[in-house]
Structure 1
Amino acid sequence: MKKLQVHFTPCPNDTFMFFALVHEVLDSAGLSFAVHMADIEELNRQAIQGIPDVTKISIAAFPAISENYELLTAGAAVGFENGPLVVSRKKLYPDELHEALIAIPGENTTANLLLSILFPSACKKKVFLFSEIEEVVLDGEADAGLLIHETRFTYQGKGLKLVCDLGKEWVTAKGVPVPLGGIAIRRSLDTSVRQKFNRLLEESIRTAMKYPREPLGYMKKHAQELQEDVIYRHVHLYVNAFSVSLGEEGKKAIETLLEEGFTKGLLPEAKKPLFLDV
């Protein structure tokens, strides 16, 4: 049996998608999995070091690992309403971001890449764990914060104000969905193994969509926010048809972001082909 080191975040969208796969709900077809969970920026670092066989990856970090990894067509976080949010404690306008100290969830995150593309003069940044950013802004350690994951749904209840929705800005500017993250697999694995894993992940996602209550305990065990409505709002925002299969529209979204980052000198050029041939 072939054992794969599989990394993903503890966020509800990932635990929802991977639940059936890692809990032997599906016939694994000769594959087994050693699962490791970590914050997305930590997963980016581990992938750059070449540690996992399969990993969740920020699309912004993919060029740095593309020599050794390719993207699956299943498991991506791509959509039209799922972009990162810039928030502040006091009223702040987008054209004032160049003066603000902004708390970001990691230099290699897609959120930071979108901020750099859309607001290139907003250069005063400090890295924090994504789950700490709301409190950092509330405590005045930063003027603004770049929110991802569950914190998109909780900031208003804590008294923070929306400065800018980077996802809406990106869709308006480029006319393609926002490609936040994907699943990368080691290129050196046999083609049959890579294709088999992609099929299993796609089936795992379809199973979770058909029986959405089944992964709840697993999601709650690892989530930052335990409120059930927040967990499912998170899943509904990030898990969609693009997660089952990127299709041409999802692939174009990723290609557009990587090209924009490369053209602006923010990313290295990614090795091609970008995607697993399924």
Structure 2
Amino acid sequence: MNLSLGFSPCPNDTFIFDALVNGAIDTSGLQFDTKLEDVETLNQWAVQGKLDITKLSFAAGLKVSDTYELLNSGSALGRGCGPLLIAREAVPLEKVKDLKIAIPGAFTTANLLFSIAFPEAGNKQVMLFSDIEQAVLSGKADAGVIIHENRFTYQQKGLVKLIDLGEFWETKTGQPIPLGGIFIRKDIPAEVRAKVDQLIHQSLQHAYTQYPTLSPYVKSHAQEMDENVMRQHIDLYVNEYSLDLGTKGKEAVEKLKEMAAQQG
């Protein structure tokens, strides 16, 4: 059986899926047609039901729950790993509502967390996550919500943190931050869905047996990222919740669902 599979080229995703898509584990006859795209592209594709299996921001996953269900393996949750709101210089938080904010996608969990923290901030500009730092530096945006490896690079560029939106979430809810998960179409047979979930778990287990060595697959998709930044990325976003959401992970996702509903 051939299944379409989408995930991002970021090191946390390629680390998880490397063994699965490159033949390092037995997939029991399942074959995967992989599409590597920015998560906001994957979020938009999910609205169309384009892929069988896909990485999604949890905020997007909530919107397509009639078509897709969340798998237990492959998720990005944790503590101290949330998006950051950054600017060229310090700005009082009460003035954030008046700023032009660059966001990494309307359907991203980062945008949802920002909206929960600053419900009155309506002047948003959607752009590719990797363009946000430069947009803030150039003055195209007053501030920006950054994700992924930009957490490790913004200070080198002279930018300052206004608020850690993950820390805001953790303080408000006591829950780990649900950033993204792996979703599968509900019209795929239940036994296949279960097998895919198991294979993602096995793929990550295999990756951990090689770590901290980085495979050519991970490095080839990380653009010009320094290897230490790749490892920081993996260490931050890949953890026990990636192997299995478990009760605490599922509770965090439910809390996000509850707070998203309050946003309307």
Matched, 1:102 2:101: yes
Instruction: State the partner residue of 1:180.
Output: 179
Give the match for residue 45 of structure 1: 44
- 1:195 aligned onto 2:190: no
Report the Cα offset of residue 225 of structure 1: 4.5
Residues 124-143 of structure 1: per-residue CA shift (max 9 Å, x gap): 11011000000000001011
Residue aligning to 1:6: 5
In 2: Cα distance, 1:92 partner to 1:220 partner: 37
Aligned to 2:237: 238
1:14-63 Cα shifts (integer Å, max 9, x gaps): 00000010011000011000000110100001111011000000100112
- Counterpart of 2:260 in structure 1 is 261
Distance (whole Å) between structure 1 residues aligned to residue 224 and residue 68 of structure 2? 32
CA–CA distance in structure 1, aligned partners of residues 157 and 215 of structure 2: 25
* SS of match in other structure, 1:132: helix
Q: Is the 8 A contact 1:131 1:224 kept in 2?
A: no
Residue in 2 aligned with 1:270? none
Match of 1:63 in 2: 62
Gap runs ≥5 in structure 1 = 266-278
Deviation at 1:204, TM superposition (A): 0.6
Asked if the contact 1:20–1:26 (Cα under 8 Å) also holds between the matched residues in 2, the reply is yes
- Give the aligned partner of residue 138 of structure 2: 139
- Once the two structures are superposed, the pairs formed by residues 95-134 of structure 1 within 5 Å of their partners are 95-134=94-133
Q: Does 1:168 align with 2:167?
A: yes
| Aligned length in residues | 264
SS across alignment from 1:29: coil
Q: Once the 2 structures are TM-superposed, how far is the Cα of residue 95 of structure 1 from its aligned partner?
A: 1.9
Shift of residue 64 of structure 1?
2.0
Unaligned regions of 5+ residues in structure 2, if any? none
Q: Contact conserved, 2:100 with 2:142, CA < 8 A, in 1?
A: yes
Aligned to 2:155: 156
1:121 is aligned with what amino acid?
Answer: E
**What SS does the corresponding residue of 1:142 show, helix, strand or coil?**
coil
Query: Could you say if the C-alpha distance between residues 39 and 132 of structure 1 is closer, same or farther in structure 2, counting changes exceeding 3 Å?
Result: same
Partner of 2:32: 33
SS in structure 2 opposite 1:35?
strand
How much does 1:82 deviate? Answer: 0.8
Other-structure match for 1:78: 77
Residue 269 of structure 1: aligned partner: none
Q: Determine helix, strand or coil for the equivalent of 1:189.
A: coil
- CA contact under 8 A between 2:212 and 2:231: conserved in structure 1? no
Instruction: Tell me the CA shift for residue 264 of structure 1.
Output: 2.6
Name the counterpart of 1:274: none
Question: Is the contact made by 1:15 and 1:215 (CA closer than 8 Å) also made in structure 2?
Answer: no
